[in-house]
Amino acid sequence: MHWADAEWVPWRPRDAAQRLAGVEAPWYVAAGWAIDLFLGEERREHEDLEIGVPFDRFEEIAAALAGLDLFVPIGGGTLEPLADELLDGSHQTWALDVAANEWRIDVFREPSENGQWVSRRDERIRLPYDELIERTTDGIPYARPEVVLLFKAKQARPKDEADLAAVLPHLTAERRQLLAGWIAQVHPGHFWLPDLA
C-alpha cells in the first residue's frame, strides 16, 4: 500500500487519550501536537497525530487500536501490514480506519531501557518516563518540548523554527540549557544554538 492510497484525517489528542484510556504503558503525544499541548493552544493545523510508546510495550497500544489496520512504512511511500519482521526496519506504525479509508494515528515505537526512554538520535540521551511525559490540565500526556525540539532540529523546517520560537519564552534557563546541550551533542554547530544561549 502507498501512503497516498488513503487520506490523513487524524484523531485529535483527546480522541487518542480516550481510545488509549486503559493502556498502562507510558505513552505520549509527540511532535507538533506535543508543542501545542505544552503551550495550551492549537497554533496551527496538524496533518497527522503521532504518539510515542516504548518499543517493548507497543502491543498494548496495538490492542487498544483494535478495529484499525496497522501498517509499517518501509520506504518510498510504501507501507506493509504490520508483521514482526518489519518492526526493526522502522520506528513507525500507521493506523488505518479501513471503512473511512483514512489514516488516524502514527505510533512511534521508541527505545527504552530499565524504565527509561532512550533517544533514537543518541542513546546517551535518556529520561525516566515521569520526566519525559508532561500532561495537560485534563490529563493528556505529551512529550516535554525539549525532546520534541531535539527531533525537530534535524530538519528545522519553517514550522519547526516556529515551534522553537513559540516554546522558548516558556522554558526556564535550566530547560533551555538542557535542550542546547542535547542539540550540541546530536547536531554540533546547529544554527539554533545561539537562540538557546
161 and 107 in a single domain? The answer is no
Res. 2: pLDDT tops 90: no
Res. 89: pLDDT tops 90: no
Rounded mean pLDDT, 123-130: 97
107 and 154 in a single domain? The answer is no
Query: What pLDDT does 86 receive?
Result: 77
Q: What is the pTM of this model?
A: 0.94
The Cα 51–Cα 142 span in angstroms is: 8
- Domain count of the chain? 2
113 and 163 in a single domain? The answer is no
Cell readout for 31 is 511532535
pLDDT in tens, 40-85: 999 999 999 999 999 999 999 999 999 999 999 998 889 999 988 7
Domain that holds residue 126: 3-143
80 and 111 in a single domain? The answer is yes
Cell readout for 49 is 497525530
Res. 188: pLDDT tops 80: yes
69 and 125 in a single domain? The answer is yes
Rounded mean pLDDT, 128-133: 98
73 and 93 in a single domain? The answer is yes
Contact 196, 173 (CB under 8 A): no
162 and 132 in a single domain? The answer is no
Mean residue pLDDT of the chain comes to: 95
| Extended beta strands in 69-101, E state | 69-75, 78-81, 92-97
Cell readout for 79 is 507501507
Rounded mean pLDDT, 150-155: 96
